[in-house]
Amino acid sequence: DILDQERTRISEAIHECQGIISPVQRLPPELLCQIFLGTIERPQATADLDAQLHDIKSVGYPPLSISSVSVKWRSIALSFPELWSSINI
């Protein structure tokens, strides 16, 4: 029927637009994990600890920010233990 055809056409158009708007959604989870890992700065032994803590507080905790972007990113982040291996308190 006409409504079903129109619904299918609109659904296909939406699907095409989503790929154009957000190509990051096509990245494999393994690559996203590596990108996520790059957001975490490892403390340097010679750096001033107070300065590092100030930077962390002003920027936030990247794994929490990443896991708040979308359901897909949350699922990937939570399944990637290396992302959560160092939590600064």
pLDDT, one tens digit per residue, over 12-38 is: 998 888 767 777 878 899 999 999 998
> Which has more pLDDT, 89 or 31?
31
Q: What pTM was estimated for this model as a whole? A: 0.56
Q: What is the DSSP letter of 42?
A: P
Distance CA 55, CA 61 (A): 10
Domains of the chain, residue spans: 27-84
Alpha helix stretches (DSSP H) within the chain: 2-21, 29-37, 49-59, 62-66, 71-78
pLDDT, one tens digit per residue, over 56-78 is: 554 567 888 899 988 999 999 99
Give the per-residue pLDDT at 39.
86
Judge whether residue 50 has pLDDT over 70: no
C-alpha distances out from residue 3 to 7, 9, 15, 16, Å: 6, 10, 18, 20
